[in-house]
Structure 1
Amino acid sequence: MKKLYSVDKASVSDIKEIIKLRVSLLKEVNEIQTEEEEAQITHATKNYLETEISNHNFVSYIAKKDEEVVSVSGVSFFKRPPYLENLQGIEAYILNMYTLPSHRNQGLARQLLEKCIEECKKRDVKRIWLHASKDGEPLYKSMGFNFKGSEMELFL
């Protein structure tokens, strides 16, 4: 039987939980290996999120089960010089996609990614890109992302 989850856009009040899952992700992919590194990432991420969520340059969607955040996503918006496929230059980078191991295979990452793509469409983003883990590649491919070098991208 599937567990019931709620999916919402995160706010500044969710920063602590977003950081908790981001740290779990970075530990899982061996990008954090010491307590000192964890403290540095936690502090820097807190500062980043407080600013960027407030000014709407970063959006996160979270899935909760019984008030516990169990899955997270993130999308960072920016504008770069125009190019032929994207004359407005508006792009988005998907990051911080992570689900706690005990809540995987429930479709949460897909739901959160769909929310991120919807947000991109609302903002008239033309290119979404990301760096996928091996575990994440099948999801991104199924959502239309294609490989371009070490990245995957989706044009809207």
Structure 2
Amino acid sequence: MKKLYSIDKASVSDIKGITKLRVALLKEVDEIQTKEEEAKIISATKNYLETEIPNHNFVSYIAKNDEEVVSVSGVSFFKRPPYLENLQGVEAYILNMYTLPNHRSQGLARQLLEKCIEECKKRNVKRIWLHASKDGEPLYKSMGFSSKGSEMELFL
């Protein structure tokens, strides 16, 4: 039986769930080794999200199964000096894409990524970029991202 999920734009009330999945992601890619590192990441992430979600500099889409956040995405928006491919300089960085292992292969990451791209289009972002895990690369390629060195990018 297929599980039921809701997909929503995250709010400040979702910070605990977003942080939980961010920690799970960082542990999975071996970027958190100790309880002390985990505590630092939890505190810093919470502080960042409490500021950046209300300021709209960071947008997250989440998938919930009942009330549990089981999949997450994030987009950080910024403006850099213009260059030929992006004369407005508006860019977005996708990060924090993660789905709990027992909820994978349900299309959640694709749905969340689509929401992130829609948000970027609404904000007139010209370039979206990210660093992909080996497991994530096929999804990003299927959505039009191309590899450029250690990162992947999509021009809108």
Identical-residue share of aligned pairs (%):
89
| Structure 2 unmatched ranges of 5 or more | none
The whole-number CA distance in structure 2 between the counterparts of 1:7 and 1:28 is 23
Give me the CA root mean square deviation.
0.4
| Structure 1 unmatched ranges of 5 or more | none
User: 1:95 corresponds to which residue?
Assistant: 95
Deviation at 1:7, TM superposition (A): 0.1
Deviation at 1:4, TM superposition (A): 1.1
Deviation sequence 1:44-93 (CA, Å, 0-9, x none) = 11111001001000000000011111000000000000000000000000
The whole-number CA distance in structure 2 between the counterparts of 1:145 and 1:20 is 27
User: 1:57 corresponds to which residue?
Assistant: 57
The whole-number CA distance in structure 2 between the counterparts of 1:16 and 1:38 is 14
Structure 1 residue 125 corresponds to structure 2 residue 125: yes
**1:85 aligned counterpart, secondary structure:** coil
Deviation at 1:2, TM superposition (A): 1.8
> TM-score, normalised on structure 2?
0.99
The whole-number CA distance in structure 2 between the counterparts of 1:44 and 1:13 is 17
**2:144 aligned counterpart, secondary structure:** coil
The whole-number CA distance in structure 1 between the counterparts of 2:61 and 2:36 is 28
Structure 1 residue 69 corresponds to structure 2 residue 69: yes
User: 1:143 corresponds to which residue?
Assistant: 143
Q: State the one-letter code of the partner of 1:56.
A: H
> TM-score, normalised on structure 1?
0.99
User: Runs of 4 or more off by more than 2 Å in structure 1?
Assistant: none
User: 1:109 corresponds to which residue?
Assistant: 109
The whole-number CA distance in structure 2 between the counterparts of 1:3 and 1:68 is 12
User: 2:28 corresponds to which residue?
Assistant: 28
